[in-house]
Amino acid sequence: MNSIIHLLPDHVANQIAAGEVVQRPASVVKELLENAVDANASSITLLVKEGGKTLIQVIDNGTGMGDTDARLSFERHATSKINSAEDLFRLHTKGFRGEALASIAAVSHVEMKTKTDDEDLGSHLIIEGSSVVQQEPCVTPAGTSIAVKNLFFNIPARRNFLKSTTVEQKHVIDEFQRVALVHPSVAFKLIHNGSELFNLPVANHRQRIVGVMGAKTNEKLVPVKEETDLIKLTGFVGKPEFAKKSRGEQFFFVNDRFIKHPYLHHAVCSAFEGLLKDKAYPSYFLYLQVNTQSIDINIHPTKTEVKFDNEHAIYSILRSSVKHSLGQFNVAPVLDFNKDSSMDTDYGQNKTTAKIPSIEVDRNFNPFESETKLGNKAFHIDSFKTKSTASWESLYTETGEDQDDLMDIEVESEQISPSLFQAQSPTYQSSGTFQLQRKYIITSTKSEMLIIDQHRAHFRILYEELLKNITAQPALSQQLLFPLKLQLDANEIRVFKVLKESLINAGFSISELGKDFVKINGIPNRLPESETSILLDQLLSDFENDIPDSGFDQTDRLAKSLAQSMAIKNGSVLQKEEQTELVNLLFSCKEPMLTPLNRLVFIKQSAADFDKKFM
Ligand code: ADP
Ligand code: MG
């Protein structure tokens, strides 16, 4: 019988291998940068176009390759870094599998120029889908330049799978940062679509971290240092008060290699226990050196996972060193970030003695009174000033009568908002409002009591309004007396540019957008100036990790973030007029029942429920 098993041709084998090594442009970036570092380059430039979809080029001044090596480097399992299996346990280089170039060449157009120091001429190679189509001598500086074009040109399914330029660019920046952070003695540049995003001179670790993450990082860093028989640990953790709500600034490097390790991540987080506000992640830049024989980095083709022999011991060392540093640098525990600041005593009152509280009762308050004093339009909290003053009672009338007249009419109409009192008696009687625990607004219809969460209600109102502003007419903004200057890192600048248009429509006015800062001279009407920088910081980090592709999703997310931050907080006292206005605005919303994040805005209790309770 004829044999049916045959060996796959090289180009097919390479394409299969490429599936593991090359997932997206960022994977190519990682491999090329690591090769340049392995070649002892002291200066590396990365040029990228359209998030790497059309071009990824790495230029280094490293050892370069001779003619034969240049051609061999694209063969599968061609490596200069190991000779025997034992070498796997003595690794001091990034690469060792000899797969990267072969895999990359299998799925793209590659052009390489390379020259060693002691030769006069270098080689110029052109490779398309695994085959060398040209090799000739050329004049080129010592070192290597590899350009990878049209990634996945021969695998349309994977090409279509690539995300938008912004998303791919974000991944490229991530990889670039990971390599740059661990090699401060190498100068790095990143140029995207012709503009320089990073220019990092040779530096020490701290300077490099600041160069990569932005100038404002410097004040946030607390050094960590520990040396035991097992590991040598150096690096920095971020002060807890700067912890962000998104992951991202978390870097472990083991023997100069970026790795992901949930268990060790947990060790660091546990050192922060009690120091972080809700759902915040600490940032860290930790460099571990361990004996090469005590780890296995061979378990994952992209080499971001390692296995340690002494995981538990490393866990404890890590946890206690981080704890120690936080303690030593006087990072005092902050136990309750959500504490209501309105409950704090004034400093001025610290020395006075406590008085016995007296109870004040509003004797004029009558929950059954059917009249409110809406005639009083003097409305002092800015947060409720709004163009829409349509009162929700008008939803229940057929005619557009003057609101003030409506107040003392019991409206019995068929025209009800279906979303509000479905299948219920269509009556609303303005009964007045009151606030419970600075948190809930209580009001009633003829047969029901409504308990409204004030923060969520305002969140809903602002969200609908912002959505309108961002998409249709730009919102009003308040001019700042002194423009606000925010330091941003390259990633934040990138996100800022994407969001710029929407931010302007939401009421921000931007006077200058520099390479690492932005100047803002106007902010949305309702946004307290003091909260602007925190809000933008949070907004940018929300978007940093996941920029929605479509314009609509982006607007929607922006409106949600802004509205949530701008909404009045629980714990704020609301005046009567503000309470009424809040209720009115809420019920002129399209979806008053739920917050934009689908949480309940109010609950209802019917008179019948009360009747039962009183039986
Ligand atoms: P690996 O890095 O695992 O050895 P690669 O496919 O990435 O495998 O590279 C194959 C070989 O090509 C490397 O071992 C190295 O000898 C050579 N090489 C690749 N990139 C460069 C470079 N930028 N400068 C000098 N030599 C390089
Ligand atoms: Mg390599």
Looking at the structure, do residues 254 and 268 belong to the same domain, yes or no?
yes
Judge whether 3 lies within some domain. no
User: Is the distance from CB of 155 to CB of 127 less than 8 angstroms?
Assistant: no
Judge whether 72 lies within some domain. yes
Six-digit token pair at 538? 């949070």
Tell me the pLDDT band of 560, cut-offs 50, 70 and 90: confident
Cβ contacts of 500-503, under 8 Å, gap ≥ 24:
502/470, 502/554, 502/555, 502/558, 503/558
pLDDT digits over 569-579, tens only? 888 889 888 89
Highest mean pLDDT, choosing among 172-181, 486-495, 505-514, 581-590: 172-181
- Which residue is it, tokens 């995981």? 311
pLDDT digits over 350-388, tens only? 444 455 555 555 556 555 554 443 333 333 334 444 434
Looking at the structure, do residues 318 and 466 belong to the same domain, yes or no?
no
- Best mutation site among 73, 81, 113, 298 for ligand 1 pocket (most ligand atoms within 8 Å of CB): 73
Whether residue 397 has pLDDT greater than 70: no
Dihedral (CA of 197, 201, 205, 206) sign? negative
Tell me the pLDDT band of 177, cut-offs 50, 70 and 90: very high
Looking at the structure, do residues 23 and 40 belong to the same domain, yes or no?
yes
pLDDT value for 120: 95
- Residue type (1 letter), 285: F
Judge whether 244 lies within some domain. yes
Asked whether 103 lines ligand 1 (CB < 6 A), one says no
User: Is the distance from CB of 145 to CB of 41 less than 8 angstroms?
Assistant: no
Whether residue 332 has pLDDT greater than 80: no
**185, 200, 215 - which closes a domain:** 200
Asked whether 97 lines ligand 1 (CB < 6 A), one says yes
Judge whether 216 lies within some domain. yes
pLDDT value for 359: 58
195-200 and 187-192 strand pairing:
antiparallel
What pTM does this model have?
Answer: 0.64
Report d(CA 539, CA 558) in Å as an integer: 8
Looking at the structure, do residues 91 and 240 belong to the same domain, yes or no?
no
Q: Which atom of ligand 1 is nearest to the CA of 101?
A: 6
pLDDT digits over 240-249, tens only? 888 877 776 8
Decide: helix, strand or coil at residue 559: helix
Whether residue 287 has pLDDT greater than 60: yes
In this structure, the residue with its CA closest to atom 19 of ligand 1 is 35
Asked whether 73 lines ligand 1 (CB < 6 A), one says yes
Whether residue 211 has pLDDT greater than 90: yes
Centre of ligand 1 to C-alpha 100, Å, is 8
CATH number at residue 263: 3.30.230.10
- Best mutation site among 34, 35, 145, 183 for ligand 1 pocket (most ligand atoms within 8 Å of CB): 35
Judge whether 394 lies within some domain. no
CATH number at residue 149: 3.30.565.10
Give the number of whichever ligand sits closest to the CA of residue 110: 1
Q: Does residue 341 or residue 433 have the better pLDDT?
A: 433
| CA 202 remoteness from chain centre | 28
**306, 328, 350 - which closes a domain:** 328
DSSP H or E run through 604: strand 602-606
Asked whether 95 lines ligand 1 (CB < 6 A), one says yes
Centre of ligand 2 to C-alpha 409, Å, is 80
Judge whether 360 lies within some domain. no
Looking at the structure, do residues 27 and 168 belong to the same domain, yes or no?
yes
Asked whether 60 lines ligand 1 (CB < 6 A), one says yes
Report d(CA 148, CA 32) in Å as an integer: 10
Six-digit token pair at 476? 């009003």
Looking at the structure, do residues 452 and 544 belong to the same domain, yes or no?
yes
Looking at the structure, do residues 195 and 275 belong to the same domain, yes or no?
no
Six-digit token pair at 180? 């740059």
Number of compact structural domains in the chain: 3
Judge whether 173 lies within some domain. yes
Other C-beta atoms within 10 Å of 377: how many? 9
Report d(CA 44, CA 25) in Å as an integer: 18
Report d(CA 309, CA 90) in Å as an integer: 15
- Distance (Å) of CA 133 to CA 54, 66, 72, 481: 20, 18, 14, 64
Give the number of whichever ligand sits closest to the CA of residue 112: 1
From the CA atom positions of the chain, what is the Rg in Å?
31
Centre of ligand 1 to C-alpha 45, Å, is 17
Residue 159: name the closest of 278, 24, 263 by CA.
Answer: 24
Centre of ligand 2 to C-alpha 94, Å, is 7
Judge whether 33 lies within some domain. yes
Six-digit token pair at 99? 């797969």
Percent of the chain beyond pLDDT 70?
81
Looking at the structure, do residues 130 and 50 belong to the same domain, yes or no?
yes
Asked whether 506 lines ligand 1 (CB < 6 A), one says no
Asked whether 91 lines ligand 1 (CB < 6 A), one says no
* Mean pLDDT of the region 99-116: 94
Looking at the structure, do residues 237 and 185 belong to the same domain, yes or no?
no
Looking at the structure, do residues 195 and 280 belong to the same domain, yes or no?
no
Other C-beta atoms within 10 Å of 312: how many? 10
Looking at the structure, do residues 182 and 213 belong to the same domain, yes or no?
no
Whether residue 417 has pLDDT greater than 80: no
CATH number at residue 481: 3.30.1370.100
**200, 228, 253 - which closes a domain:** 200
Whether residue 422 has pLDDT greater than 50: no
Percent of the chain beyond pLDDT 90?
38
Looking at the structure, do residues 235 and 98 belong to the same domain, yes or no?
no
Whether residue 5 has pLDDT greater than 70: yes
- Which residue is it, tokens 């538990």? 312
Domain that holds residue 252: 205-328
Whether residue 460 has pLDDT greater than 80: yes
